[in-house]
Amino acid sequence: MKNIISVLTLLITISCCGQYATEITVDQTGHGDFTSIQEAIYATKAFPEKDITILIKNGVYKEKVTIYSWNNRLTLVGENPDSTIITFDDHFDKINLGRNSTFHTYTLKVDANDVSLKNLTIQNTSGPVGQAVALHIEGDRVQVINCQIHGNQDTLYGAGEGFRQYFKNCEIDGTTDFIFGEATMVFENCAIESKANSYITAASTTQTSKFGFVFIGCDLTKSDESINKVYLGRPWRSYAKTVFINCEMDSHITPVGWNNWGSAEKEKTVFYAEYQSAGPGANDQNRTTWSHILSKKEAAKYQLNNIFGNWQP
């Protein structure tokens, strides 16, 4: 009854005098406005003039969540990243929609601009069964703060030519190509954990994009000691760009650092680089000849105001 009353109150607020709720609470125990994250998103105003925040109480929310393009200016805030969990288990073979099934496997998909995700765990629990996305972003000016993103192959997909996506203080893990896509993505002070001998990134940066994936002050770790041959990246498309700045690399990073995905031609068009890598996986002397070790002057351009232009997260 209490939950019904709160929902009615929310609906009255939305309908009265053209106003709308700018703060909504999701609580599985029934003490909020909704018990489902997706139901709360359905209730938000399309193309709002003011920011809208959905507060998500602790719990395991097994649901496939979409933030639609008209749900811009929306923030999802969890109560605690360890215990506010959005989870689902779709994967390529389960979806079975042809060669592009990967893009339907997400647990949480962001199609809107100006979205923030904070203090959440977003996971795909299908296991090591092939492509299975946890977080899929197709919006510009999206920021992900203090979140845990768990999966195996293809954990995190950043889409959209020139779209800007920012990750800070996040934990991201996976096996193969677990950070991939064409968006301009910056990862600052994040923990990047490999769960198998494979590839961390698979950028598909477009030829006209100045920046692809940029990792700043991140820790590259491994889930166990048996992992000893992980590449920093391989090019999903010919103009892939990936740069690591001031990152700590464990011993699982292979000395050559980068892989050409079986194409010597891509060695001529990709841009893979590092600056002041540290730790047992850092190896300036033995990196592949077609990657770059940046000078201090070259590294200086990898500042947020330069990468993101008129948007500062």
Nearest residue to 260 (alpha-carbon basis) of 286, 290, 285: 290
Tell me the residue ranges of DSSP E strands in 89-229. 108-110, 115-118, 121-124, 135-137, 142-145, 148-150, 156-158, 164-168, 171-174, 179-181, 184-188, 191-194, 199-203, 213-216, 219-222
Buried b (16+ CB within 10 A) or exposed e, 277-304: beeebbbeeebbeebeebeeeebeebeb
Please say if 177 is a catalytic residue.
yes
Contact 307, 211 (CB under 8 A): yes
Beta strands 248-249 and 142-145: pairing type? unpaired
Output Rg (C-alpha) for the chain, integer angstroms: 20
Q: How many CA atoms, within 13 angstroms, populate the side-chain half-sphere of residue 3?
A: 11
Tokens of 105: 């496997």
Active-site position among 27, 90, 111, 177: 177
Nearest residue to 195 (alpha-carbon basis) of 169, 227, 233: 227
Please say if 219 is a catalytic residue.
no
Active-site position among 140, 154, 173, 250: 154
Sheet with 108-110, side-by-side order of all strands: 65-67, 108-110, 135-137, 156-158, 179-181, 199-203, 231-233
Instruction: Supply the residues annotated as catalytic.
Output: 154, 177
